[in-house]
Amino acid sequence: MSNVPADLRFLKSHEWARLEADGTITIGISDHAQQALGDLVFVEAPEPGRHVNAGEACAVVESVKAASDVYSPVSGEVVAGNADLGGQPELINTDPYGAGWIMRVRPDDKAQFASMLDARAYAAALAAETH
Amino acid sequence: MGLRTPLFDTHVAAGARTVDFGGWDMPVNYGSQIEEHHAVRRDAGMFDVSHMCVVDLRGDRVRDYLRHLLANDVSKLTQPGKALYSCMLRDHGGVIDDLIVYYMNDHWYRMVVNAGTRDKDVEWLRQVAADYGVTVEPRTELAMIAVQGPNARAKAASVMPPEIAQRALEIGPFFGIDAGSLFVARTGYTGEDGFEIMLPAEHAVALWQGLRVAGVAPCGLGARDTLRLEAGMNLYGNDMDETTSPLESGLNWTIAWEPQDRDFIGRGALAAQKASGDTRKLVGLLVEDRAVLRSHQKVIVAAVGEGEVTSGTFSPTLQRSIGFARVPAKTGDRCEVEIRGKLVAARVVRPPFVRHGKVAIAL
């Protein structure tokens, strides 16, 4: 069973997001997503300063099995990409909600974050997907 | 629900993620595919390959039958137990399947064919057998476990009955022995030393658990794919099928042209293709950028033409992406591959990429 932390928001496409104290949003892929992809071998995170739109593919995670786009759940400016993933893409496998974060975005409109799935809704979506 | 091997419940209990492979529910990994890969390169790993089909071929004219059926020539097999890798072709030269055949005695050969092609293989084997009075017996009651890696033979022998273990440790590369309760062959699909062990399905779980206790790591089909690619071994359905000939699949070495009067199925088509000289070829590719080759990506060879990646992956041993591609015959030592909308430079290399734990190409 995959881990779905109660304090995060999710997209059906398996991204997670956390609202930080400074108003930025940290984004990664869920435990379910990393399990499905298998061992990560490359991660391409966006450059800081880039403006992304909600629903836009802005990072790529590539595993031994497949490449997959990571969609931004919110519109805003990228303030950081996780540089550690360049040398250690496996951080996404070992700690998808912690050291395996992918990017941080300063949202144009916080309402987009609020409209994401909560943990219960995401867990229900996962259950529906596997049955 | 797909077909299940006798080890399916054991895999699930060990935390395997399973996938459909040729109609079978098979473990793809038990956690980390890369760790499983390294276990085979550095120590010992095991694969459930019970989905593959063992077929026994018996009859007074079984040798003549196989000399007609296969592109490689079983008359090379003079010592009992010796194995041969071959393609089985249609008349037009397309590959029905690739297989291993063991010469057991003058009236009995044992063949191992792929899971996804089992039904059409058996049908073809029987169709051709009619003229030779050969019986074709699929041994679906047998399970098969491949134990691979530098320490695989020693660890596997440690769990066999002593009299079988001693015989097993004496067999040479590409030989198999029928040791009663076990059929043990020194073959594999990883580029490492090891055994492939066939045994009655009801004993498979006990052998698997024994091997685990002996320190052999369970490995899934994910690691099996990266290992075979590094070892330069084709996968049927990816790298060749009925629309491609062995000449276009890097398998020229498996065609026995001599003696010239041996009339094997597909010979005429292969000879015509060879004479035309305008065949495509299967090559190895190595990518230096941070991008991963995948099946069906387009290959562009400047001033020559286009081709296609047939298999691609990230090589855990090389820490680079490697693959095979079918390209025009005139392709030199460089090409480009279209990966996710970008053109990425690749080097054309001669597989294997890795052999017996060591890098076998210039990086």
| CATH number for the domain formed by residue range(s) A9-130 | 2.40.50.100
With 80 as the cut, is the pLDDT of residue B252 above it?
Answer: yes
Residues of chain B with C-beta less than 8 angstroms from the C-beta of A67 = 292, 294, 340
Return the residue in B28, B30, B32 with the most chain A beta carbons within 10 A, the one to mutate for interface testing.
Answer: B32
Residues of chain B with C-beta less than 8 angstroms from the C-beta of A62 = 291-292, 314
Those residues with Cβ within 8 angstroms of residue B69's Cβ, 6 or more apart along the chain or in another chain? B88, B125, B128, B264, B265
Q: What pLDDT was estimated at residue A131?
A: 59
Query: What DSSP character marks residue B228?
Result: H
* A1 inside 8 A of chain B by CB: no
pTM for the whole thing? 0.93
Phi and psi for B70 in degrees, rounded to 5? -110, 145
Name the pLDDT band for B277 (thresholds 50, 70, 90): confident
* A38 inside 8 A of chain B by CB: yes
**What value does the mean pLDDT of chain B take?**
97
Quote ipTM for the complex: 0.82
Residue A55 and residue A11: Cα distance in Å, rounded? Answer: 10
Q: For chain A, first and last CA: distance in Å?
A: 13
Rg (CA), chain A: 14
Distance from CA of B313 to the nearest CA of A (A): 6
Q: What pLDDT was estimated at residue B290?
A: 86
Q: What pLDDT was estimated at residue A18?
A: 97
Distance from CA of A23 to the nearest CA of B (A): 33
With 70 as the cut, is the pLDDT of residue B258 above it?
Answer: yes
CA separation, residue B88 to residues A4, A49, B208, B238, B296 (Å): 50, 58, 32, 16, 24
Distance from CA of B290 to the nearest CA of A (A): 7
Residues of chain A with C-beta less than 8 angstroms from the C-beta of B28 = 38
Buried b / exposed e along B67-89 (16+ C-beta atoms within 10 A): bbbbbbbbeebeeebbbbbbbbb
Dihedral angle at the C-alpha atoms of B221, B223, B226, B229, nearest 10 degrees? Answer: -60
* B292 inside 8 A of chain A by CB: yes
Whether B226 and A64 lie within 8 Å, measured CB to CB = yes
* A93 inside 8 A of chain B by CB: yes
Distance from CA of A38 to the nearest CA of B (A): 7
* A64 inside 8 A of chain B by CB: yes
Q: ∠B291-B293-B296 over CA atoms, to 5°?
A: 135
Least CB–CB distance from A67: residue in B29, B33, B292: B292
Q: What is the mean pLDDT of residues A100-113?
A: 95
* B296 inside 8 A of chain A by CB: no
H or E stretch at A125: helix A119-130
Q: What is the mean pLDDT of residues B337-362?
A: 95
Residue B242 and residue B116: Cα distance in Å, rounded? Answer: 13
Whether A42 and B294 lie within 8 Å, measured CB to CB = no
Q: What pLDDT was estimated at residue A65?
A: 87
Distance from CA of B2 to the nearest CA of A (A): 16
Whether A62 and B313 lie within 8 Å, measured CB to CB = no
With 70 as the cut, is the pLDDT of residue B84 above it?
Answer: yes
With 90 as the cut, is the pLDDT of residue B2 above it?
Answer: no
Name the pLDDT band for B208 (thresholds 50, 70, 90): very high
Whether A38 and B28 lie within 8 Å, measured CB to CB = yes
With 90 as the cut, is the pLDDT of residue B363 above it?
Answer: no
Encode pLDDT of B143-192 as tens digits: 999 999 999 999 999 999 999 999 999 999 999 999 999 999 999 999 99
Whether B292 and A62 lie within 8 Å, measured CB to CB = yes
Residue B76 and residue B245: Cα distance in Å, rounded? Answer: 22
